[in-house]
Amino acid sequence: MPALWKPSVTVAAVVERDGRFLMVEEETADGVRLNQPAGHLDPGETLLHAATRETLEETTHAFTPTALLGVYVARSVPNRDRDGVTYVRFAFTGDLGPDDPGRALDDGILRVLWLTAEEIRQRAAEHRSPLVMKCVDDYLAGRRFPLDFVYTHASALAA
């Protein structure tokens, strides 16, 4: 019997301020990569909570989602050390709170950056996933969906 296939559920925060987007540089198995604040959905949490938590951990800023930007699917490139992984990314836009100066960046996060869309586009070879630029482009195109498009049944919170 073949192994059970399970996609990896992730969240991302797409935050724009004065024409610049909140990004992180992070150390990965493939070297330093550029990404939005993003990470995995943990057991017992909602997608909104995951986006808030990941943004705080990776940038030291509170994040309040205000809209769903979109749902995206991509597969990582397999290599000799690991199989490819299919990711389902829920990207949110929202409001960024002040920096918490007493909080350290999450392990692997090298620094927080504010980049223009063109600067992000020019660094495409460094993107953590092909979804990085797609999310920026969708944001710039005005794509937004109400947060009530995302529903979490209570059974998912009892992990």
pLDDT in tens, 48-85: 999 999 999 999 999 999 999 999 999 887 665 567 78
Q: How many CB atoms lie within 10 A of CB 20?
A: 15
Closest CA to 113 of 2, 38, 43, 22: 22
> What average pLDDT is seen over the chain?
93
- The set of residues, in sequence order, having a beta carbon less than 8 Å from that of 62 and lying 6+ positions away, is 52, 55, 56, 96, 97, 98, 100
**pLDDT digits 0-9 by tens, 25-36:** 999 988 999 999
Predicted pLDDT of residue 38? 98
| pLDDT greater at residue 159 or residue 130 | 130
Can you read off the two tokens belonging to residue 157? 């919170």
The helix (H) or strand (E) run that includes residue 132 is helix 131-140
